[in-house]
Chain A
Amino acid sequence: MAARRNPQLNVHGELIHLLSVEGLPREVLVQILDTAGTFLSVSEREVKKVPLLRGKSVFNLFFENSTRTRTTFEIAAKRLSADVFNLDIARSSTAKGESLLDTIANLSAMHADMFVVRHGESGAPHLIAQHCAPHVHVVNAGDGRHAHPTQGLLDMYTIRHYKRDFTRLSVAVVGDIVHSRVARSDLHALSILGVPDIRAVGPKTLVPGDFAAMGVRVCHDMAEGIRDADVIIMLRLQNERMSGAMLPSASEFFKTYGLTPGKLALARPDVIVMHPGPINRGVEIDSAVADGPQSVILPQVGFGIAVRMAVMSIIAGNPA
C-alpha cells in the first residue's frame, strides 16, 4: 500500500488539525507546550482575552455528552476571542437520523472555521477532517477509545512543568488502558518526547499485551508498575466496567490497583500523581492521595485551558 501523508499536517509539516498525538513530530509537540506556556499568564490577567481568533467561529460538536471537556474548550476559545457555538448533537441532528457528514456539511455552510469534535467512534474526527472544507480545522476532543490528544498534551505540559526533562523519567499509566483514549494519547506523547521508561499497568482484561507494540512495558503487578516512578497517571474506571467480565468489583480493583498512600511509597519520593478526572475516590485512587501533596490533579485542569488555547491558535494560523 502507498504511504499516506499524516492528515494532521500540511505539506510544510505544520499542524492543521489535531486528531491524534500519534505520528506528530517532536517539534510540533514542543511548539504546543511552549505556546501553552505563554497563554498561562492570560488566565491570570484582569482581562482574560487575546485577540488571536477574533471573528472566527468555533463549533463544539459533542456527539457524546461531556461537560468538563466541552467547557474547557469553550473557555479556551473565548479567551482567544472566538465566537463559540455549542451543539449538543447527541440530542439533536443525529437523533433525527442525519448522517455525520450531513451535519458537518450544514455547519460548514454556516461558515465554521473550526470544529471541536467528540464522538463515540474511533476515527470519527479523521473522517470529518477528510471531508470538511480545506479552510476548516478539526480538533479531536475524544474519539472512542482512540485518542484524546489535548488531554495527552496537557498531561505532558503538567509533567514538564514539574519535572522539566522528559528524558530521565519513569512514567506509569495505571488502570483501564484498553478503553482509554487518554492513555493512548499519553503513551504516544511520552514516547515522542523521549521518556525512556513508560509502563502500562493494570489487569490483563484492561491492559492487553498488545500495548507492548506501542513501546511501553506492560505490567500486571501494581507494585512493579509504580516502583520508583517519577510520574503516575491514574485513569478513571468507567462505572460500566466496575462489575462484569472485565472486573469483579470496584473494591477488588481498589485493593489490587487503587493508588493508596501505602502503594505510593513505592514510587520516588518526589513522584507526582495525575488523573484526567473526574476521579472515583476509593476506586482508582484514595482520597488521601488525590488530595495529598503529590497530587497535581487540579493544576492539570488549569494547564488544560492553556494547552487548548495553544492548539487552537496554532492550527488556525496554518494554511491547509
Chain B
Amino acid sequence: MRITIHGGRVVDPASGRDEIADVAIAGDRIVAIGAKAAELEAERRIDAQGLVVAPGLVDLAARLREPGQEHEGMLESELQAAAAGGVTSLVCLPDTDPVLDEPGLVEMLKFRARKLSRCRVFPLGALTRSLQGQALTEMVELTEAGCVGFSQVEVPIVDTQVLLRALQYAATHGLSVWLRPQEAWLGKGVAASGAVATRLGLSGVPVAAETIALHTLFELVRATGARVHLCRLSSAAGVALLRAAKAEGLPVTADASINSLHLIDEDIGYFDADFRLAPPLRQAADREALRAALADGTLDALVSDHNPVAADMKVLPFGEAEPGASGIELLLALALRWGRELGLPLVRTLAPVSCAPVRVLGDALGSLASSAGRLVEGGVADLCLFDADAEWPVTAATLCSQGKHTPFAQASSGGMLQGRVVTTLVAGTIAFDRR
C-alpha cells in the first residue's frame, strides 16, 4: 500500500532532523521525506498536523509471557499493547515456560508474532539451559532461529566458571550476552537497602549487589572480549562503573528501565505491591544519576521492562508479590517526561528509545540494522505518530496489556501521563490507529 503522512513534525534522532515535512511510504519502505513525498499518489493519506512523526520505538526489554504463561499476557494482547505504545521492535526475554532455550520454541514464537504483524519481535535466548546456570545453550542454533542475544534474565549465574565459559563461547561466535548485574546472594531482598527498607522491615538489596556483579563482568569482558549488554542498571555507583568501563573501551552497552528513571523507594508508600520491581527502586541520588547517564549516552537505552503480572500476584504482602509492572504502553510518555524534566530537545529525548537501542542490537538485526529506529528514505517504514501534549490517565481501561499493574497507574501515582501515540506503522502497514 502507498501511504502519505502530511504536515507532521518529523523528528529523527539519528540524523537530527526536526522539521514539518511529509512522509511517503510504498510497500514496507519510506520512499520520500519532504517535498517529493507530496508527489506520491497514495491510497491512504494520514493527516499528521499537530503530531510528531517519529521512528517506531525500539524497546530492549519486554515480556510477552508466551509460551506458557498465557494467563498473565498473551502474544496478541501484549503485541497490541506494544503497537498502542508506538513500539515497532521489541526484544523479548527468555524466562517463559518452557524457557527459550531450544530453536524450535524460538521459531514458533517468531512465527506467531509475525502472523500478528503488530510489532517486530526479537527474542533473547537463554544463556544456559533452563536458565539454571550450568550448561550452555546451543547459541549458534538459537541465533539461526532468530535470537539476537543471550540472557539469564533474573537468574544470576552463581558459578563464575560457567559465566566465564559462557562469555568465551559467545565471544567465539560474536554473540552478545545480556545480563542484569546482580550478585546472587546479595540480590535476594525485596527492596533496595536504605532507610525505607529498614523502616518498613523489608529485606534489602544493597548497591553492592549491582557493583560487585559489574566488577566481575568487566573483568570477564576484559578476559574474553565478549560483547555484554548490561540490563536495568539501578544505582549511581553502577552508573559510575559503567562510565569508567566505557571510557576504557570495553565492548559494553547498558539500559535502564522507565521505573528506575522516575521512581524511588519512598514511592513504595504503605507497601504498595505495584512498586515491587526488579531491580528494586533505589534512592533519589540513584535516580538522578540514571537520568544524567541516559542524557549523556553512558546509558544507551531506555526500556519499558514490560512485565504483565496477573492481578492475583499483586494482591499479596509486598515481599510475596510478584515483581514487575506493565510498561510498554508508557514508554513514550515516560521518555517524554524525562526529556521535559531535563530540558532536552525532542531529537535527544527520543534517541534512547529509537536509534540508540538499534545500535545496541547491531548486526543481530541483519538488514534492519541500517534503518530501524530511524527515518530514512529507502529505510523500513516503522513509524510512530504521537501527540506530545495529550494527557491521559493510566487505568485498567486505558491499557491494552493484560497486565494492569503499574506504579504509574492513576490509583497509585494520582497523575496523568503526557504524550500519547496516535498511529503506529510497522513495515508500511498500520498496526495501531487510535483515531
Q: A101-B315, A144-B319 are in contact. Are A2 and B415 (CB under 8 A)?
A: yes
Interface of chain A residues 194 through 225 with chain B (CB within 8 A) = 208, 210-211, 213-214
Q: Mark B175-191, 1 if CB is under 8 A from A, else 0.
A: 00000000000000000
Tell me if B77 is interfacial: C-beta within 8 Å of chain A: no
CB distance from A254 to the nearest CB of B (A): 26
Tell me if B412 is interfacial: C-beta within 8 Å of chain A: yes
Give bound CA distance, A223 to B394, whole Å.
55
Which of chain A's residues have a CB closer than 8 A to the CB of B413? 1-2
Q: Mark B306-320, 1 if CB is under 8 A from A, else 0.
A: 000000100111111
Tell me if A131 is interfacial: C-beta within 8 Å of chain B: yes
Tell me if A122 is interfacial: C-beta within 8 Å of chain B: yes
Q: Mark B394-418, 1 if CB is under 8 A from A, else 0.
A: 0000000000000000001111000
Which of chain B's residues have a CB closer than 8 A to the CB of A121? 317-320
CB distance from A125 to the nearest CB of B (A): 9
Tell me if A25 is interfacial: C-beta within 8 Å of chain B: no
Count contacts between A and B, CB distance < 8 Å: 78
A100 touches B199 (CB 8 A): no
B198 contact from A100, A101, A144, A211, Cβ within 8 A: A211
Interface centre among B194, B271, B316, B415 (most CB of A within 10 A): B271
B199 contact from A4, A6, A213, Cβ within 8 A: A213
A4 contact from B263, B270, B273, B320, Cβ within 8 A: B270
Chain A count of residues within 8 A CB distance of the other chain: 30
Which of chain B's residues have a CB closer than 8 A to the CB of A101? 315
CB distance from B258 to the nearest CB of A (A): 15
Mostly, the B contact residues are: loop
Interface centre among A2, A101, A181 (most CB of B within 10 A): A2
Give bound CA distance, A127 to B413, whole Å.
18
A1 touches B414 (CB 8 A): yes
Tell me if B223 is interfacial: C-beta within 8 Å of chain A: no
CB distance from B183 to the nearest CB of A (A): 15
Q: Mark B255-292, 1 if CB is under 8 A from A, else 0.
A: 00000000100110111010000000000000000000
A208 contact from B198, B312, B315, B316, Cβ within 8 A: B198
Give bound CA distance, A156 to B42, whole Å.
79
A22: nearest chain-B partner, CB-CB: B199
Chain B count of residues within 8 A CB distance of the other chain: 27
Which of chain B's residues have a CB closer than 8 A to the CB of A147? 201
A210 touches B270 (CB 8 A): no
Tell me if A124 is interfacial: C-beta within 8 Å of chain B: yes
CB distance from A119 to the nearest CB of B (A): 7
A146: nearest chain-B partner, CB-CB: B201
A123 touches B315 (CB 8 A): no
Interface of chain A residues 77 through 136 with chain B (CB within 8 A) = 99-101, 119, 121-124, 126-127, 131
Which of chain B's residues have a CB closer than 8 A to the CB of A122? 200-202, 271, 317-319
Which of chain B's residues have a CB closer than 8 A to the CB of A211? 198
CB distance from A101 to the nearest CB of B (A): 6
Tell me if A184 is interfacial: C-beta within 8 Å of chain B: yes
Q: Mark A1-16, 1 if CB is under 8 A from B, else 0.
A: 1101011000000000
Tell me if B244 is interfacial: C-beta within 8 Å of chain A: no
Tell me if A145 is interfacial: C-beta within 8 Å of chain B: yes
Give bound CA distance, A208 to B269, whole Å.
22
Give bound CA distance, A101 to B263, whole Å.
28
A123 touches B200 (CB 8 A): yes
CB distance from B344 to the nearest CB of A (A): 23
Tell me if B349 is interfacial: C-beta within 8 Å of chain A: no
Which of chain B's residues have a CB closer than 8 A to the CB of A4? 269-270
B315 touches A127 (CB 8 A): yes
Tell me if B195 is interfacial: C-beta within 8 Å of chain A: yes
A146 touches B198 (CB 8 A): no
CB distance from B89 to the nearest CB of A (A): 31
Tell me if B193 is interfacial: C-beta within 8 Å of chain A: yes
Give bound CA distance, A123 to B318, whole Å.
6
B273: nearest chain-A partner, CB-CB: A127
Which of chain B's residues have a CB closer than 8 A to the CB of A2? 413-415
B316 touches A100 (CB 8 A): yes
Give bound CA distance, A121 to B268, whole Å.
15
Interface of chain A residues 153 through 189 with chain B (CB within 8 A) = 178, 181, 184
A100 touches B317 (CB 8 A): yes
Which of chain A's residues have a CB closer than 8 A to the CB of B317? 100, 119, 121-124, 127, 143-144
Give bound CA distance, A119 to B201, whole Å.
13
A1 contact from B267, B316, B318, Cβ within 8 A: B267
Interface of chain A residues 1 through 37 with chain B (CB within 8 A) = 1-2, 4, 6-7, 22
Interface of chain B residues 179 through 237 with chain A (CB within 8 A) = 193-195, 197-202
Give bound CA distance, A273 to B305, whole Å.
51
Give bound CA distance, A6 to B266, whole Å.
14
8 A-B pairs with CB atoms under 8 Å apart are A1-B263, A121-B317, A123-B270, A124-B317, A143-B201, A144-B201, A178-B198, A213-B198
11 more A-B residue pairs beyond the given contacts A2-B413, A100-B317, A146-B201, with a C-beta to C-beta distance below 8 A: A6-B270, A99-B315, A121-B320, A122-B202, A126-B271, A127-B317, A144-B202, A144-B319, A146-B200, A208-B198, A210-B193
Give me the 5 closest cross-chain CB pairs, A-B, nearest first: A2-B414, A123-B271, A145-B201, A146-B201, A213-B195
A interface, CB within 8 angstroms of B: 1-2, 4, 6-7, 22, 99-101, 119, 121-124, 126-127, 131, 143-147, 178, 181, 184, 208, 210-211, 213-214
